[in-house]
Structure 1
Amino acid sequence: MDVGLFLLIEPFASVETQLQRVKELGFRRADITDTNAGGSMLGSAGFSPTVSLDENPFEVKRLFERHGITPSAVCAHALLLEPSNPGKYGTAEIMKAIRFAAAIGIRDVVTTETDARSEWAQQLTYEESIFTVAEKLYTPVQMAGDYGVRILLEPHGPITDTIRGMQDIFDRLGNPDALGVNLDTGNAWLGGTDPVEMARVFREKIHHVHWKDLGPEWEPKRGTMFGCGFSNIALGDGVIDLQGVCEVLRGCDIESSTLEIIGGDDVLVRSAEFLKDQGV
Protein backbone atom coordinates (compact mmCIF):
# COMPACT_ATOMS: atom_id res chain seq x y z
CA MET A 1 0.00 0.00 0.00
CA ASP A 2 1.58 3.27 -1.12
CA VAL A 3 1.22 6.14 1.34
CA GLY A 4 0.54 9.65 0.09
CA LEU A 5 -0.50 13.03 1.41
CA PHE A 6 -3.43 15.40 1.27
CA LEU A 7 -2.62 18.53 -0.71
CA LEU A 8 -3.14 20.77 2.30
CA ILE A 9 0.38 20.90 3.68
CA GLU A 10 0.89 24.64 3.31
CA PRO A 11 -1.91 27.11 4.18
CA PHE A 12 -3.22 29.40 1.44
CA ALA A 13 -1.04 27.77 -1.20
CA SER A 14 -1.68 26.50 -4.71
CA VAL A 15 -1.82 22.90 -5.90
CA GLU A 16 1.65 23.31 -7.39
CA THR A 17 3.12 24.52 -4.09
CA GLN A 18 1.50 21.57 -2.30
CA LEU A 19 2.96 19.14 -4.84
CA GLN A 20 6.42 20.62 -4.34
CA ARG A 21 6.11 19.99 -0.61
CA VAL A 22 4.89 16.41 -1.17
CA LYS A 23 7.98 15.74 -3.25
CA GLU A 24 10.31 17.41 -0.73
CA LEU A 25 8.94 15.17 2.01
CA GLY A 26 9.74 12.07 -0.04
CA PHE A 27 6.18 11.01 -0.88
CA ARG A 28 5.10 10.02 -4.38
CA ARG A 29 1.31 10.02 -4.14
CA ALA A 30 -1.35 12.56 -3.25
CA ASP A 31 -5.11 12.87 -3.39
CA ILE A 32 -6.71 15.56 -5.51
CA THR A 33 -7.91 17.01 -2.26
CA ASP A 34 -10.19 19.94 -2.97
CA THR A 35 -12.43 20.13 -6.03
CA ASN A 36 -15.00 22.61 -7.26
CA ALA A 37 -17.29 23.11 -10.20
CA GLY A 38 -16.65 26.09 -12.43
CA GLY A 39 -13.91 28.49 -11.40
CA SER A 40 -12.52 29.38 -8.00
CA MET A 41 -11.38 32.93 -7.34
CA LEU A 42 -8.88 31.91 -4.66
CA GLY A 43 -7.77 28.92 -6.70
CA SER A 44 -7.12 31.10 -9.72
CA ALA A 45 -5.11 33.49 -7.55
CA GLY A 46 -2.98 30.64 -6.18
CA PHE A 47 -4.29 30.90 -2.61
CA SER A 48 -6.21 27.61 -2.52
CA PRO A 49 -5.18 24.05 -3.49
CA THR A 50 -8.42 23.44 -5.37
CA VAL A 51 -8.89 21.73 -8.73
CA SER A 52 -11.81 22.66 -10.96
CA LEU A 53 -13.80 19.68 -12.19
CA ASP A 54 -14.37 21.72 -15.36
CA GLU A 55 -10.62 21.97 -15.98
CA ASN A 56 -8.91 19.88 -18.65
CA PRO A 57 -8.00 16.86 -16.50
CA PHE A 58 -4.91 16.19 -18.59
CA GLU A 59 -3.49 19.58 -17.54
CA VAL A 60 -3.85 18.48 -13.93
CA LYS A 61 -2.24 15.13 -14.73
CA ARG A 62 0.72 16.91 -16.35
CA LEU A 63 1.07 19.16 -13.30
CA PHE A 64 1.30 16.12 -11.03
CA GLU A 65 3.74 14.43 -13.41
CA ARG A 66 6.07 17.45 -13.44
CA HIS A 67 6.60 16.89 -9.74
CA GLY A 68 6.79 13.11 -9.96
CA ILE A 69 3.53 12.65 -8.03
CA THR A 70 0.77 10.15 -8.85
CA PRO A 71 -2.80 11.23 -8.02
CA SER A 72 -4.39 8.57 -5.81
CA ALA A 73 -8.03 9.62 -5.75
CA VAL A 74 -10.35 12.51 -6.52
CA CYS A 75 -12.11 13.84 -3.44
CA ALA A 76 -15.73 14.81 -4.06
CA HIS A 77 -17.16 15.11 -0.55
CA ALA A 78 -20.78 16.17 -0.89
CA LEU A 79 -23.85 17.26 1.06
CA LEU A 80 -25.96 14.22 0.24
CA LEU A 81 -28.41 14.69 3.11
CA GLU A 82 -29.40 18.16 1.98
CA PRO A 83 -32.22 19.00 -0.44
CA SER A 84 -31.02 19.02 -4.06
CA ASN A 85 -29.69 22.47 -4.85
CA PRO A 86 -27.35 23.59 -7.66
CA GLY A 87 -25.57 25.76 -5.13
CA LYS A 88 -24.62 22.73 -3.00
CA TYR A 89 -21.89 20.22 -3.85
CA GLY A 90 -23.77 17.05 -4.73
CA THR A 91 -24.73 14.64 -7.49
CA ALA A 92 -23.69 16.87 -10.40
CA GLU A 93 -20.22 17.42 -8.98
CA ILE A 94 -19.74 13.71 -8.24
CA MET A 95 -20.60 12.93 -11.86
CA LYS A 96 -18.07 15.52 -13.03
CA ALA A 97 -15.49 13.96 -10.72
CA ILE A 98 -16.14 10.54 -12.28
CA ARG A 99 -15.53 11.85 -15.79
CA PHE A 100 -12.46 13.75 -14.59
CA ALA A 101 -10.97 10.70 -12.86
CA ALA A 102 -11.71 8.31 -15.73
CA ALA A 103 -10.09 10.61 -18.29
CA ILE A 104 -6.68 10.42 -16.61
CA GLY A 105 -6.78 6.90 -15.19
CA ILE A 106 -7.68 7.61 -11.58
CA ARG A 107 -9.70 4.68 -10.26
CA ASP A 108 -11.38 6.12 -7.16
CA VAL A 109 -13.68 9.05 -6.40
CA VAL A 110 -14.27 9.60 -2.69
CA THR A 111 -17.53 11.05 -1.43
CA THR A 112 -19.71 11.15 1.67
CA GLU A 113 -22.96 12.60 2.99
CA THR A 114 -21.53 15.03 5.61
CA ASP A 115 -23.53 16.05 8.69
CA ALA A 116 -27.01 17.46 8.27
CA ARG A 117 -26.82 21.24 8.00
CA SER A 118 -30.36 22.39 7.28
CA GLU A 119 -33.41 22.02 9.53
CA TRP A 120 -34.95 19.86 6.79
CA ALA A 121 -32.03 17.43 6.77
CA GLN A 122 -31.84 17.30 10.55
CA GLN A 123 -35.47 16.16 10.71
CA LEU A 124 -35.01 13.20 8.37
CA THR A 125 -35.73 9.78 9.83
CA TYR A 126 -33.06 7.11 9.51
CA GLU A 127 -34.93 5.44 6.66
CA GLU A 128 -35.41 8.77 4.89
CA SER A 129 -31.71 9.51 5.27
CA ILE A 130 -30.75 6.22 3.64
CA PHE A 131 -33.12 6.89 0.76
CA THR A 132 -31.91 10.48 0.34
CA VAL A 133 -28.25 9.48 0.14
CA ALA A 134 -28.88 6.45 -2.08
CA GLU A 135 -31.11 8.41 -4.47
CA LYS A 136 -28.40 11.03 -4.99
CA LEU A 137 -25.80 8.31 -5.60
CA TYR A 138 -27.85 6.04 -7.87
CA THR A 139 -26.91 7.61 -11.21
CA PRO A 140 -23.29 8.39 -10.23
CA VAL A 141 -22.75 4.76 -9.20
CA GLN A 142 -24.12 3.49 -12.51
CA MET A 143 -22.00 6.01 -14.36
CA ALA A 144 -18.88 5.06 -12.37
CA GLY A 145 -19.35 1.44 -13.41
CA ASP A 146 -19.62 2.44 -17.06
CA TYR A 147 -16.44 4.52 -16.82
CA GLY A 148 -14.46 1.88 -14.91
CA VAL A 149 -14.30 4.09 -11.82
CA ARG A 150 -15.28 3.33 -8.22
CA ILE A 151 -17.19 5.62 -5.88
CA LEU A 152 -15.82 5.18 -2.37
CA LEU A 153 -18.01 6.13 0.58
CA GLU A 154 -16.06 7.65 3.44
CA PRO A 155 -17.24 7.67 7.07
CA HIS A 156 -17.87 11.38 7.50
CA GLY A 157 -21.50 11.77 8.59
CA PRO A 158 -24.29 10.34 10.74
CA ILE A 159 -24.99 7.52 8.28
CA THR A 160 -21.54 6.57 6.97
CA ASP A 161 -19.96 6.78 10.43
CA THR A 162 -21.87 3.62 11.30
CA ILE A 163 -21.45 0.11 9.96
CA ARG A 164 -25.21 -0.32 9.70
CA GLY A 165 -25.63 2.95 7.78
CA MET A 166 -22.85 2.17 5.37
CA GLN A 167 -24.24 -1.31 4.72
CA ASP A 168 -27.79 -0.02 4.28
CA ILE A 169 -26.63 2.39 1.57
CA PHE A 170 -24.86 -0.48 -0.18
CA ASP A 171 -27.96 -2.64 0.07
CA ARG A 172 -30.30 0.11 -1.16
CA LEU A 173 -28.08 0.53 -4.24
CA GLY A 174 -27.84 -3.22 -4.87
CA ASN A 175 -24.24 -3.70 -3.68
CA PRO A 176 -22.67 -2.79 -7.05
CA ASP A 177 -19.00 -3.42 -7.77
CA ALA A 178 -18.57 0.28 -8.56
CA LEU A 179 -19.31 1.23 -4.93
CA GLY A 180 -16.70 0.74 -2.24
CA VAL A 181 -15.35 2.22 0.99
CA ASN A 182 -12.66 4.77 1.76
CA LEU A 183 -11.91 3.95 5.39
CA ASP A 184 -11.15 7.08 7.42
CA THR A 185 -9.82 5.81 10.73
CA GLY A 186 -10.25 9.09 12.59
CA ASN A 187 -13.75 9.86 11.33
CA ALA A 188 -15.05 6.35 12.03
CA TRP A 189 -13.70 6.44 15.59
CA LEU A 190 -14.92 9.98 16.27
CA GLY A 191 -18.39 9.09 15.01
CA GLY A 192 -18.55 6.31 17.61
CA THR A 193 -17.64 3.27 15.52
CA ASP A 194 -14.73 0.92 16.12
CA PRO A 195 -12.58 1.39 12.99
CA VAL A 196 -11.14 -2.10 13.48
CA GLU A 197 -14.62 -3.59 13.23
CA MET A 198 -15.48 -1.35 10.26
CA ALA A 199 -12.31 -2.55 8.54
CA ARG A 200 -13.25 -6.16 9.29
CA VAL A 201 -16.84 -5.85 8.01
CA PHE A 202 -15.92 -3.98 4.81
CA ARG A 203 -12.50 -5.52 4.25
CA GLU A 204 -13.25 -6.61 0.68
CA LYS A 205 -14.84 -3.24 -0.20
CA ILE A 206 -12.09 -0.97 1.16
CA HIS A 207 -10.00 0.36 -1.73
CA HIS A 208 -8.43 3.45 -0.14
CA VAL A 209 -7.67 4.65 3.39
CA HIS A 210 -7.44 8.08 5.01
CA TRP A 211 -5.21 7.63 8.05
CA LYS A 212 -5.68 9.67 11.21
CA ASP A 213 -4.96 9.16 14.89
CA LEU A 214 -6.56 11.31 17.58
CA GLY A 215 -5.44 12.20 21.10
CA PRO A 216 -7.35 11.66 24.37
CA GLU A 217 -8.73 15.22 24.25
CA TRP A 218 -11.10 14.02 21.51
CA GLU A 219 -12.71 11.29 23.64
CA PRO A 220 -15.45 13.54 25.16
CA LYS A 221 -16.51 14.47 21.60
CA ARG A 222 -16.78 10.90 20.40
CA GLY A 223 -20.24 10.08 19.07
CA THR A 224 -21.18 13.75 18.74
CA MET A 225 -19.05 14.86 15.77
CA PHE A 226 -18.98 13.62 12.20
CA GLY A 227 -15.49 14.15 10.80
CA CYS A 228 -12.63 16.23 12.12
CA GLY A 229 -10.77 17.13 8.95
CA PHE A 230 -7.23 16.41 10.11
CA SER A 231 -5.17 15.05 12.94
CA ASN A 232 -2.14 16.91 14.26
CA ILE A 233 -0.34 13.94 15.79
CA ALA A 234 1.60 11.07 14.28
CA LEU A 235 -0.04 7.70 13.71
CA GLY A 236 0.42 5.54 16.78
CA ASP A 237 0.58 8.47 19.20
CA GLY A 238 -3.17 8.61 19.89
CA VAL A 239 -5.99 6.49 21.24
CA ILE A 240 -7.21 4.81 18.02
CA ASP A 241 -6.30 1.15 17.58
CA LEU A 242 -4.47 1.64 14.29
CA GLN A 243 -2.44 -1.50 14.83
CA GLY A 244 -5.71 -3.42 14.86
CA VAL A 245 -6.83 -1.73 11.63
CA CYS A 246 -3.51 -2.55 9.99
CA GLU A 247 -3.77 -6.15 11.11
CA VAL A 248 -7.18 -6.48 9.43
CA LEU A 249 -6.07 -4.76 6.22
CA ARG A 250 -2.68 -6.45 5.93
CA GLY A 251 -2.61 -8.38 2.69
CA CYS A 252 -5.57 -6.54 1.15
CA ASP A 253 -5.27 -5.38 -2.42
CA ILE A 254 -5.31 -1.66 -1.53
CA GLU A 255 -3.07 0.28 -3.88
CA SER A 256 -2.83 3.57 -2.02
CA SER A 257 -3.71 5.47 1.13
CA THR A 258 -3.40 9.02 2.39
CA LEU A 259 -2.21 10.68 5.59
CA GLU A 260 -4.83 13.21 6.71
CA ILE A 261 -2.42 14.89 9.08
CA ILE A 262 -1.22 18.43 9.57
CA GLY A 263 1.84 19.26 11.61
CA GLY A 264 5.58 19.28 11.32
CA ASP A 265 7.37 17.33 8.63
CA ASP A 266 8.52 14.83 11.26
CA VAL A 267 4.89 13.98 12.08
CA LEU A 268 4.22 13.02 8.47
CA VAL A 269 7.44 11.04 8.11
CA ARG A 270 6.93 9.19 11.41
CA SER A 271 3.36 8.34 10.37
CA ALA A 272 4.57 6.79 7.12
CA GLU A 273 7.18 4.83 9.07
CA PHE A 274 4.47 3.59 11.46
CA LEU A 275 2.49 2.12 8.56
CA LYS A 276 5.61 0.55 7.09
CA ASP A 277 6.38 -1.06 10.44
CA GLN A 278 2.83 -2.45 10.52
CA GLY A 279 3.38 -4.15 7.17
CA VAL A 280 0.63 -2.45 5.20
Structure 2
Amino acid sequence: MGLGFRLCYNENATCHPQKKERLMIELGMHTDNWRVLSGSFKQAAECAVKYGLQHLEFAAIHGQYFIQAMGYEPGISLQSNPRALKRYCDGKGLKISQIDGSYPFMGPDGSAYGVQYVQQSIRFAAELDCPMVDTVDGGAEIPGYTRDEVFRITCDNYRQALPWAEDYGVILNVEPHGPYTNDIEFMLKLFKHFDSEY
Protein backbone atom coordinates (compact mmCIF):
# COMPACT_ATOMS: atom_id res chain seq x y z
CA MET A 1 0.00 0.00 0.00
CA GLY A 2 1.48 3.35 -1.01
CA LEU A 3 1.42 5.95 1.73
CA GLY A 4 2.01 9.66 1.63
CA PHE A 5 2.58 12.13 4.37
CA ARG A 6 1.83 15.77 4.81
CA LEU A 7 2.95 18.41 7.24
CA CYS A 8 -0.02 19.77 9.17
CA TYR A 9 -0.50 22.36 11.83
CA ASN A 10 -2.71 20.65 14.44
CA GLU A 11 -5.07 17.72 14.87
CA ASN A 12 -7.84 19.72 13.19
CA ALA A 13 -5.52 21.21 10.58
CA THR A 14 -6.30 21.62 6.95
CA CYS A 15 -2.75 22.61 5.98
CA HIS A 16 -4.15 26.02 5.10
CA PRO A 17 -1.59 28.85 5.07
CA GLN A 18 -3.55 30.94 7.59
CA LYS A 19 -3.64 28.21 10.28
CA LYS A 20 -0.10 28.17 11.61
CA GLU A 21 -0.01 26.30 14.89
CA ARG A 22 2.23 23.43 15.99
CA LEU A 23 3.49 21.19 13.20
CA MET A 24 2.94 17.48 12.99
CA ILE A 25 3.06 14.79 10.33
CA GLU A 26 -0.09 12.88 9.44
CA LEU A 27 -0.20 9.85 7.15
CA GLY A 28 -2.60 9.42 4.29
CA MET A 29 -2.85 7.56 1.01
CA HIS A 30 -3.89 8.00 -2.60
CA THR A 31 -6.73 5.79 -3.75
CA ASP A 32 -4.80 5.28 -7.02
CA ASN A 33 -3.06 2.42 -5.23
CA TRP A 34 -6.27 0.44 -5.86
CA ARG A 35 -6.20 1.06 -9.63
CA VAL A 36 -3.89 -1.90 -10.25
CA LEU A 37 -6.27 -4.04 -8.18
CA SER A 38 -9.31 -2.83 -10.14
CA GLY A 39 -10.59 -1.58 -6.80
CA SER A 40 -13.15 1.10 -6.06
CA PHE A 41 -12.91 4.27 -3.99
CA LYS A 42 -14.92 2.58 -1.24
CA GLN A 43 -12.51 -0.38 -1.09
CA ALA A 44 -9.60 2.06 -0.74
CA ALA A 45 -11.45 4.03 1.95
CA GLU A 46 -12.22 0.86 3.92
CA CYS A 47 -8.54 -0.10 3.81
CA ALA A 48 -7.55 3.37 5.04
CA VAL A 49 -9.90 2.95 8.01
CA LYS A 50 -8.59 -0.57 8.66
CA TYR A 51 -5.02 0.75 8.97
CA GLY A 52 -5.92 3.84 10.98
CA LEU A 53 -5.28 6.44 8.29
CA GLN A 54 -7.31 9.63 8.34
CA HIS A 55 -6.46 11.26 5.00
CA LEU A 56 -7.26 10.27 1.42
CA GLU A 57 -6.33 11.69 -1.95
CA PHE A 58 -8.20 10.63 -5.07
CA ALA A 59 -7.95 11.24 -8.79
CA ALA A 60 -10.66 13.41 -10.29
CA ILE A 61 -12.44 12.19 -13.40
CA HIS A 62 -13.69 15.05 -15.57
CA GLY A 63 -16.84 13.46 -16.94
CA GLN A 64 -17.85 9.81 -16.68
CA TYR A 65 -15.71 6.71 -16.91
CA PHE A 66 -17.64 3.45 -17.27
CA ILE A 67 -14.97 1.43 -15.42
CA GLN A 68 -15.37 3.72 -12.38
CA ALA A 69 -19.16 3.41 -12.60
CA MET A 70 -18.81 -0.39 -12.52
CA GLY A 71 -16.70 -0.18 -9.34
CA TYR A 72 -13.29 -1.04 -10.80
CA GLU A 73 -11.68 2.42 -10.60
CA PRO A 74 -10.83 4.36 -7.41
CA GLY A 75 -11.18 7.84 -8.93
CA ILE A 76 -14.23 10.05 -8.44
CA SER A 77 -16.21 11.80 -11.18
CA LEU A 78 -16.46 15.56 -10.81
CA GLN A 79 -20.09 15.10 -11.87
CA SER A 80 -20.85 13.05 -8.75
CA ASN A 81 -22.39 14.54 -5.61
CA PRO A 82 -19.57 15.96 -3.46
CA ARG A 83 -21.79 16.32 -0.40
CA ALA A 84 -22.75 12.65 -0.50
CA LEU A 85 -19.05 11.79 -0.78
CA LYS A 86 -18.27 14.06 2.19
CA ARG A 87 -20.98 12.39 4.29
CA TYR A 88 -19.55 8.98 3.40
CA CYS A 89 -16.00 10.04 4.33
CA ASP A 90 -17.11 11.83 7.50
CA GLY A 91 -18.93 8.67 8.55
CA LYS A 92 -15.68 6.74 8.24
CA GLY A 93 -13.59 9.41 9.98
CA LEU A 94 -11.74 10.26 6.75
CA LYS A 95 -10.75 13.64 5.34
CA ILE A 96 -9.91 14.31 1.72
CA SER A 97 -6.49 15.94 1.96
CA GLN A 98 -5.99 16.56 -1.75
CA ILE A 99 -7.72 16.02 -5.08
CA ASP A 100 -5.51 14.80 -7.88
CA GLY A 101 -6.61 17.15 -10.68
CA SER A 102 -3.65 16.09 -12.74
CA TYR A 103 -4.52 16.41 -16.37
CA PRO A 104 -1.15 17.58 -17.81
CA PHE A 105 -1.46 21.31 -17.16
CA MET A 106 1.49 22.66 -19.10
CA GLY A 107 1.38 23.31 -22.82
CA PRO A 108 -1.48 23.62 -25.32
CA ASP A 109 -3.40 20.54 -24.14
CA GLY A 110 -3.32 22.04 -20.66
CA SER A 111 -5.04 25.10 -22.11
CA ALA A 112 -7.66 23.10 -23.98
CA TYR A 113 -8.43 20.47 -21.34
CA GLY A 114 -6.42 21.00 -18.16
CA VAL A 115 -7.69 24.45 -17.14
CA GLN A 116 -11.35 23.45 -16.96
CA TYR A 117 -10.36 20.15 -15.34
CA VAL A 118 -8.46 21.96 -12.57
CA GLN A 119 -11.16 24.62 -12.15
CA GLN A 120 -13.81 21.95 -11.60
CA SER A 121 -11.47 20.05 -9.27
CA ILE A 122 -11.12 23.25 -7.20
CA ARG A 123 -14.89 23.66 -6.97
CA PHE A 124 -15.31 20.00 -5.98
CA ALA A 125 -12.51 20.27 -3.39
CA ALA A 126 -14.20 23.25 -1.74
CA GLU A 127 -17.42 21.23 -1.35
CA LEU A 128 -15.41 18.53 0.45
CA ASP A 129 -13.49 20.97 2.70
CA CYS A 130 -10.43 19.64 0.91
CA PRO A 131 -7.56 22.14 1.13
CA MET A 132 -5.56 21.23 -1.98
CA VAL A 133 -5.71 20.28 -5.66
CA ASP A 134 -2.60 19.06 -7.38
CA THR A 135 -1.43 19.73 -10.92
CA VAL A 136 1.31 18.14 -13.04
CA ASP A 137 3.14 18.63 -16.30
CA GLY A 138 3.01 15.22 -17.99
CA GLY A 139 5.59 12.55 -18.68
CA ALA A 140 7.47 14.01 -21.65
CA GLU A 141 8.51 17.30 -23.19
CA ILE A 142 5.93 18.78 -25.54
CA PRO A 143 7.14 18.25 -29.12
CA GLY A 144 7.48 21.35 -31.28
CA TYR A 145 7.57 23.80 -28.34
CA THR A 146 10.57 25.48 -26.74
CA ARG A 147 10.78 25.68 -22.96
CA ASP A 148 10.05 29.41 -23.19
CA GLU A 149 6.88 28.72 -25.19
CA VAL A 150 5.78 26.05 -22.70
CA PHE A 151 6.51 28.46 -19.84
CA ARG A 152 4.34 31.19 -21.39
CA ILE A 153 1.45 28.76 -21.95
CA THR A 154 1.87 27.35 -18.44
CA CYS A 155 1.64 30.84 -16.94
CA ASP A 156 -1.54 31.49 -18.94
CA ASN A 157 -3.03 28.23 -17.65
CA TYR A 158 -2.24 28.97 -13.99
CA ARG A 159 -3.47 32.55 -14.48
CA GLN A 160 -6.89 31.09 -15.32
CA ALA A 161 -6.91 28.60 -12.44
CA LEU A 162 -5.54 30.80 -9.63
CA PRO A 163 -8.60 33.08 -9.31
CA TRP A 164 -10.69 29.96 -8.73
CA ALA A 165 -8.22 28.71 -6.11
CA GLU A 166 -8.25 32.09 -4.36
CA ASP A 167 -12.05 32.44 -4.48
CA TYR A 168 -12.61 28.92 -3.13
CA GLY A 169 -9.68 28.98 -0.66
CA VAL A 170 -8.06 25.90 -2.21
CA ILE A 171 -4.29 25.63 -2.65
CA LEU A 172 -2.90 24.55 -6.04
CA ASN A 173 0.03 22.19 -5.71
CA VAL A 174 2.49 21.41 -8.49
CA GLU A 175 3.73 17.82 -8.24
CA PRO A 176 7.11 16.97 -9.78
CA HIS A 177 6.46 14.24 -12.34
CA GLY A 178 7.88 15.24 -15.70
CA PRO A 179 10.54 17.27 -17.47
CA TYR A 180 9.23 20.73 -16.55
CA THR A 181 8.32 20.15 -12.90
CA ASN A 182 11.69 18.47 -12.34
CA ASP A 183 13.53 21.46 -13.83
CA ILE A 184 14.35 23.66 -10.83
CA GLU A 185 14.96 26.77 -12.93
CA PHE A 186 11.60 26.36 -14.70
CA MET A 187 9.80 25.90 -11.37
CA LEU A 188 11.52 28.82 -9.61
CA LYS A 189 10.63 31.06 -12.54
CA LEU A 190 7.01 29.82 -12.37
CA PHE A 191 6.67 30.44 -8.63
CA LYS A 192 8.24 33.90 -8.92
CA HIS A 193 5.79 34.76 -11.71
CA PHE A 194 2.77 34.58 -9.39
CA ASP A 195 2.18 36.48 -6.16
CA SER A 196 -0.37 34.23 -4.48
CA GLU A 197 -0.38 32.03 -1.40
CA TYR A 198 -2.62 29.65 -3.34
Tell me which amino acid in the other structure corresponds to 1:3: L
TM-score by length of 1: 0.58
User: Offset at 1:85?
Assistant: 7.5
Shift of 1:76: 0.6
Contact 2:110 2:157 in 1 (8 A): no
Q: Which stretches in structure 2 are left out of the alignment for 5+ residues?
A: 1-24
How many angstroms apart in 2 are the aligned matches of 1:38 and 1:124? Answer: 29
How far residue 69 of structure 1 moved from its aligned partner, in angstroms, is 1.2
Alpha-carbon offset, residue 44 of structure 1 = 0.6
Counterpart-to-counterpart distance in 1, 2:165 and 2:182: 23
Which of 125, 148, 159 pairs up with 1:127? 148
1:72-221 map, 5 Å: 72-84=97-109, 89-116=113-140, 121-172=142-193, 174-178=194-198
**Structure 1 residue 102 displacement after superposition:** 1.1
Change (3 A) 1:78 1:4: same
Task: Return structure 1 stretches of 4+ with deviation > 4 angstroms.
Answer: none
Distance 2:79 2:183 in 1: 33
**Is the contact made by 2:78 and 2:120 (CA closer than 8 Å) also made in structure 1?**
yes
Which structure's CA Rg is the greater one? Answer: 1
Percent identity for Structure 1 against Structure 2? 24
Which residue in the other structure is 2:48 paired with? 22
CA apart distance, 1:130: 0.9
Query: Deviation digits for residues 255-280 of structure 1, max 9, x if unmatched?
Result: xxxxxxxxxxxxxxxxxxxxxxxxxx
8 Å contact from structure 1 (residues 109, 150) kept in 2: yes
- Is contact 1:75–1:111 with CA below 8 Å preserved after alignment? yes
In the other structure, the counterpart of 1:39 is: 64
Give the 3-state SS of the residue equivalent to 2:158 in structure 1.
helix
TM-score (norm 2): 0.80
Question: Residues of 2 paired with 1:19 and 1:71: CA distance?
Answer: 10
Counterpart of 1:190 in structure 2 is none
Displacement after TM superposition at 1:66 (Å) = 2.6
Checking the alignment, whether the CA contact within 8 Å between 2:32 and 2:75 is kept in structure 1 is: no
Deviation sequence 1:212-255 (CA, Å, 0-9, x none): xxxxxxxxxxxxxxxxxxxxxxxxxxxxxxxxxxxxxxxxxxxx
**Deviation at 1:48?**
0.4
